[in-house]
Structure 1
Amino acid sequence: MKRKKQRNPINDALRLLKYRIRSENELRFRLKEKGYESEEIEKTISYLKEKGFIDDEKFAYLYVYDSLTLHKKGPFRIKLELKKLGVDEYIIEDAIKKVLEEVDLEEIKKEITKGMDEKKARELLYRKGFGGE
């Protein structure tokens, strides 16, 4: 006879974090979707923050770094995506600033637009969130 698994918000949260790092608000939303009460969710979030499983600064930095270097997204687009994930504006600004100090933005732009005429290159960069420069 199978025993029914008892739901546990910490286990569900850790399962979500196993796949990739997540923002605090993103995790809060996902736990709410799973039907947990607000009080349970807040206790879980506090516990996970205390244990170092949730860190929006680290999350934002890694998200910005990967988005810029691997996915070739621009700072404006990345900022919008992080806002949608519920990361505070000051954390986003700080993460973008740190990554831009480490990464050659001009080199990334050149990689993206290699062999394109100037007009198409400018349009592509704008669509990818690099602004109008």
Structure 2
Amino acid sequence: MKKNPLSDALRFLKYRARSEMEIKTRLKSKGYSACEIEEVVLQLKEKGFLDDEKFAYLYAYDSLTLKKKGPFLIRLELQKLGVDEFIIEDALSRVLEEVDVEKIKTEITKNLDERKAKEYLYRRGFGGE
């Protein structure tokens, strides 16, 4: 059976939204040429399946609200996923405007004394504010 880079990319996207770099890395590891990869990435972008701005926003929103990760940790994770710094900044600022961060910080530290709470928040990626 002939390998198809588009169906491999779509199968990879089926589980969760991905960054452009994730798709490129995955297809490269499957042995596709740079030309094939670029063609597939272009098709996915045109169809709206691949959008780093939307991906970064959704990733940041879910990480903050569901996984209770702080902005610093989210920024690092998005950088590792190959998202452009400007896109990360935009996504984080949008999410931080929409979400009550203080409420989340209170939720995850409600049973800790002040010193332990500060340490825990710092480890979770909330700055030293």
TM-score bracket, shorter-length normalisation: over 0.9
Query: How do 1:27-46 and structure 2 match up within 5 A?
Result: 27-46=23-42
1:32-71 to 2 correspondences below 5 Å: 32-71=28-67
- Counterpart of 1:100 (choices 74, 88, 96) is 96
User: Hey, what's the Cα distance between the residues in 1 that align with 2:88 and 2:62?
Assistant: 14
Q: How big is the shift at 1:6?
A: 1.2
RMSD over aligned CA atoms reads: 0.5
Secondary structure, aligned partner of 2:72? helix
Gaps of 5+ in 1: none
| SS, match of residue 116 in structure 1 | coil
| Count of matched residue positions in the alignment of Structure 1 and Structure 2 | 129
After TM superposition, give the deviation of residue 43 of structure 1 in Å. 0.6
Question: TM-score, normalised to structure 2's length?
Answer: 0.99
Runs of 4+ in 1 over 4 A off after TM superposition: none
* Partner Cα distance (1:95, 1:63) in 2: 9
Identity %: 70
Question: Which residue pairs with 2:3 in the alignment?
Answer: 7
TM-score of the superposed pair, with normalisation by structure 1 = 0.96
Q: CA deviation at 1:8?
A: 0.5
Residue 114 in 1 paired to residue 110 in 2? yes
Question: 2: distance between equivalents of 1:35 and 1:114?
Answer: 49
| SS of match in other structure, 2:127 | coil
User: How far is the alpha carbon of 1:85 from its aligned partner?
Assistant: 0.2
Unaligned runs of 5+ in 2: none
Distance in 2, Cα, partners of 1:89 & 1:31: 23
Larger radius of gyration: 1
The superposition leaves residues 42-75 of structure 1 with CA deviations (integer Å, 9 ceiling, x where unpaired) of: 0110111011110000000000000000000000
Q: Distance in 2 between matches of 1:25 and 1:118?
A: 40
